[in-house]
Amino acid sequence: MDATGGDVMSISFWQDDTQPGDVVTADVIIVGAGISGASAAWWLKDAGLKVVVLDKGDICAGASGKNAGFITCGSVEHFNRQMERMGVEDALTLWKMSQDNIDLIEELLVEDGLECDFARKGTYSLAGTERELVELKETCDTLVGLGVKVEWVEREQVARDLRAEHFTGGVLYQDDGEVHPVKLVRGILERSGARFFPNHEVHDITSTGDTVTVKTQRATFEGTLCVLATNGYSHHVHSWFRDKIYPTRGQIIVTEPVAPFLPAPCYANFVLDYFRQLPDGRVLIGGFRQLEKETEVGTADEPSLVIHEALETFLHKHFPHLRGVKIDYRWAGIMGFSVDGLPMIGALPGQQNVFFLGGYTAHGIGWGFKAGQLLSKAILEGEQPPIISARRLH
C-alpha cells in the first residue's frame, strides 16, 4: 500500500541519486527531526529498537527551530473556553498532560544535564481590553478552584513588574517555562541514540505487509514501523492530513540586547501575540497572524512586512523604552494547526505500522516531549492516549 496517498513530492527523477544497494535497515524510521521526531526517538531508546531519524534539512529545520521557545500548559484556547467545549474533566486532563510535558523535560532532561537555557518562571497572559480582562479573571478563578497554580495580576503590578503600559491586568501561570528550542531538540535527539540522516527528503513511503519502505533522494530505508513527525508539512507526506493539519505561518522579530526588564514570557490578545526577553537581553516578539489570516497559510516561510511592522508598533506602544532599539532578526516559520485545535497521535487508517504525531496548533514545545511518550506507549503497548488520540478524526 502506498502510504503517500498519491501526493506529489518535490524530488524530481533527476535529483534521485539512490542506487540499488543504498538500503538502510532499521526497526523504526522516523521522518522529521523536530521536537516530535526527536522525542519519539528518545522515548523508544530503551525498547531495544534500532531507530533512524530522517529530515529534508537539518535538526529543527521546521517550526521547532523557528518558534518562540515557550513551554506552556494547556492548549491554544483559554481554559474556560476549552472547558465549555469539552467539559471540565477532559479540559483538566488536557491541561495536566501538557503540564506533564514540562515536568518531564525538567526532570528527565534538564536535571540530567541537558543545557538548553531552561527557566521556569511562569508566563503572563495579559489583557489589553476589558472584555479580555473579564475572561482572564473567570479563567483564573476556575483554575484556582481546580488547584492549578495561577495568580491574578492587577494593572499596577503589570506596569511595575513588567514595565509595560496599556495592559489592564492578567494571569500568571506559575508552572510554565521557556527554553532555547534548538538546544533542547538537539539534546533530545543526541541522547536518544538514534542515527540521524540530515538532508534526506522523503518522496515515497510504501507499506507492504510487515515492512515499510521509505525512499529519499539519497537512500532507501526499510523497517518494521514508520513515524511521521512532520506536523505542518504532513500533507506533503500523506493526503489523509489535508483536512486534519493545516500549515500555518508564524512571524517573529528579535531586537538587539537591552537591559533586563521582563521577568517571564508573556501572552496578549487572547494568546495570539507573545513576547519574552532572552538570556542575552534580546526581546523576542511574535504573533499578529490575524492581520493576514487568509494568506498566512502554506509551507512557504516568508516574512510578512505588514506583520513585522505591527510587531514593532506593538512593542513600542507597550514598552516605550524600547523605541529606537534595533531589530537584529526577522523570520517566519510553519506551524501545524489541527482541525480541532488539539494534538493528534495515532496510526494512519488501514496502515497500522505507519504512526504519526503533530497538530500542536502553535504549542509544539509545550506538547512535543509528552507526545513522544504517548506515541511510544501506542507503539509498544497499544495504549491509546486520552483526548488526543487521532481515532477521534477517523
- Residue 5's pLDDT is 52
Whether 27 and 152 map to the same domain: the answer is: no
Whether 106 and 128 map to the same domain: the answer is: no
CATH number, residue 86: 3.50.50.60
- Residue 139's pLDDT is 96
- Helix, strand, or coil (residue 145): helix
Whether 184 and 88 map to the same domain: the answer is: yes
The total number of structural domains that make up the chain? 2
Whether 180 and 302 map to the same domain: the answer is: no
Whether 272 and 370 map to the same domain: the answer is: no
Sheet of 266-268: strand order equals: 150-154, 169-173, 123-127, 266-268, 273-277, 283-286, 245-255, 327-338
Whether 43 and 162 map to the same domain: the answer is: no
Whether 22 and 156 map to the same domain: the answer is: no
Residue of 137, 130, 178, 172 lying closest to 151 (CA atoms): 172
- Residue 271's pLDDT is 77
CATH number, residue 309: 3.30.9.10
Which helix or strand (DSSP H or E) is residue 38 part of?
A: helix 35-43
- Residue 7's pLDDT is 54
Domain-terminating residue out of 338, 355, 386: 338
* Structural domain boundaries enclosing 150: 120-175+246-338
- C-alpha cell of 132? 479580555
Whether 98 and 131 map to the same domain: the answer is: no
Residues in the chain: 394
- Residue 43's pLDDT is 98
Domain-terminating residue out of 314, 338, 362: 338
At 216, give phi and psi (nearest 5°): -115, 180
Rounded CA-CA distance 344/333 in Å is 20
Rounded CA-CA distance 306/103 in Å is 38
Domain-terminating residue out of 338, 354, 386: 338
pLDDT, tens only, 256-284:
999 999 999 999 988 789 999 999 999 99
Whether 97 and 200 map to the same domain: the answer is: yes
Whether 4 and 102 map to the same domain: the answer is: yes
Low-confidence ranges of the chain (pLDDT < 70): 1-9
- Helix, strand, or coil (residue 325): coil
Whether 112 and 187 map to the same domain: the answer is: yes
Whether 185 and 251 map to the same domain: the answer is: no
